[in-house]
Amino acid sequence: MNNRRWFLVALGLLVWSFYARPVYELAWVAASRLAEKVSMHGAAQVYERPRQGIVDRAFEQGDEIDAYLAGLRAAATHEGTAAVDFSDPAAIARTSDALRARLRDSLRYPRDADRTPAGPAEEVSSTEDEIARYLELSIPVLPGIHSVGLLVRPKGVAPGMRLPLVIAAPGRAPAPVAAANGRVPVIRRSVRDLAWHALEHGYAVWMPSYVFYGRGGDDDFRDRLTVRAWQSGTSLPAIEIAKTIRSLDVLLQRADIDPERVAMMGFSYGGFYALNTAALDPRIRAVAIMGYFNDRLRVLEAAEPYGFLDWRFADSTALWLDPNVAALVVPRPMLVQSTTLDQLFPIDGARRAAQQAQEAYRKAGIPTRFSFQEFVGRHEPDAQRAVRFFDEQFGIRQAQPP
C-alpha cells in the first residue's frame, strides 16, 4: 500500500512539473528582471545624449536612403527604351528578347513555368444563350495550379470556323452580387463590357479568372497572397501572367482559334496584365490598355504605403515604368485609353506616359501603330473603340472610324 501511495505521489509531482513549467519559467524571468534592476541601482552615471539629437540622426539617415533610392530610380527611368534598338525589326527582336528576360526576373516569374507542357484543358461546363456559346475550361499550367476561364464564341458562326481571339482581362472588383435567382450575367450590352463588342465583331473571347478576393468577400486576400508569393521567391502577378501565357499554349492549338490573330485588352488591373503579358508574349499581336497606363512612379507614390502592393516588384519604379514595358510590345500595335476624370490614374500622368510610348514607336518608324484615346469619363473603359482598333490591325471588315 505504501509503495502504491508513493507511486501516486511521484506520478502527481511529475504531472504537476509538466504543467507548472510555464509558471516556473515566468517566475525565473521575473526574478532575472528584478536582479537586473538591483544591479543597475547605484551604478556609475553613463553618458547621456539629448533625445532630439538621437531622433534627428535617425531622420537624417532615412532622408539619405530616400534620396539615394530616388537617384537610382531617376538613373534607370529611361534605361528600358534606350536598351531597345529600334533600327530594324531584327534589332528590335534581339534587344527586346534580352529585356524580356529581365522583366521576367523582376516579376519573379515562376521558375517551374516552362518545365512541363500545359494542359490538356478540362471542360468544366458548356452552355449557350442567344448571343454566344460559353465553354468553361480549366487548364493545368503550373504544378497544382489551373488557368480557369470562359472561352466564348459568338452565335451564328460555324462550330469549327477559325476565329481571331481576344483575351479580356477584367479590373479588380469584389465578389459579384447575385440577382434574386442567385446568378450573375457574364456579359452586358455596354461599351464598358470587355466581351460584348468583340463577340459582335466575330471574335472568340477568352475571359480568364484572376484572384481579386477571398472566401467570404475578403478583399485583403490578394495582398496576403502577394506577400506569401514574395516569401516563396515569386510574385502573384507573375503567377497570373504565367497562367495566361501557358493557357495560350493550349488555346492556340484549337482548330477554331486563329493563332495569327490574337489580341488582349485589359481594364484597370486588367490593364496591368494586358501590358505585361503582351510585353512577355509576342504571340499577342495587338493590345489595348484601358484605365491603367500612366506615370507609374507618381501613381504608386500617391498610394503609399500599401496601395497596389502587388505592383511594387523589383525595379517597378525604375526600369519598368509603363513606357519601358510598352517598348517591349513594339512593333506590335498598341492602344492606350484614358479618361479625363479618372480618380485612380490621373489624365496628366497618362498623357506623359503615352507621349513617351509614342516616341518608341516613332523611333521604330511605325508611329501609327500606337494610338492614344482620351475621352470624358471616370475610371472606365470603352471596349467598343478597342475592338475597332483590333479590327483595323487584323483587317476585319467591320472596322469603323473610332
CATH code where residue 207 lies: 3.40.50.1820
Hey, what's the torsion of the CAs at 146, 237, 90, 319, to 10 degrees? -170
Phi and psi torsions of 165, nearest 5°: -120, 135
Rounded mean pLDDT, 206-215: 85
Alpha helices in 160-235 (DSSP H): 196-200, 221-231
CA of 134: how far to CAs of 128, 150, 220, 264, 344, in Å? 6, 6, 30, 19, 33
Determine the pLDDT at residue 218.
Answer: 67
Greater confidence (119 vs 152) lies with 152
The answer to whether residue 181 is domain-embedded is no
Domain around 158: 74-175+188-394
SS3 3: helix
If one counts the domains in the chain, the total is: 1
Does the structure show a pLDDT above 60 at 399?
no
Cell, residue 285: 499581336
The answer to whether residue 68 is domain-embedded is no
User: Model confidence at 398, in pLDDT bands (50, 70, 90)?
Assistant: low
Greater confidence (285 vs 34) lies with 285
Cell, residue 106: 523582376
Greater confidence (186 vs 316) lies with 316
Rounded mean pLDDT, 252-264: 95
Contact 310, 235 (CB under 8 A): yes
SS3 79: helix
Does the structure show a pLDDT above 60 at 68?
yes
Average pLDDT over the chain, rounded to an integer: 86
User: Model confidence at 373, in pLDDT bands (50, 70, 90)?
Assistant: very high
Phi-psi region at 285: left, alpha or beta (left = phi > 0; alpha = psi -120 to 50): alpha
Q: Give the CA angle between residues 208, 342, 241 to the nearest 5°.
A: 25
The answer to whether residue 209 is domain-embedded is yes
Rounded mean pLDDT, 62-80: 73
Q: Indicate the residue type of 50.
A: P
Does the structure show a pLDDT above 80 at 297?
yes
CA of 292: how far to CAs of 67, 113, 303, 327, in Å? 27, 26, 14, 16
The answer to whether residue 400 is domain-embedded is no
The answer to whether residue 362 is domain-embedded is yes
Short-list 386, 334, 381, 385, CA closest to 361: 334
The answer to whether residue 399 is domain-embedded is no
Short-list 210, 216, 205, 195, CA closest to 276: 210
User: Model confidence at 1, in pLDDT bands (50, 70, 90)?
Assistant: low
Greater confidence (58 vs 263) lies with 263
The answer to whether residue 52 is domain-embedded is no
Look-up of cell digits 459579384: 176
Determine the pLDDT at residue 81.
Answer: 66
Short-list 332, 334, 382, CA closest to 357: 334
Distance CA 112, CA 141 (A): 10
The answer to whether residue 46 is domain-embedded is no
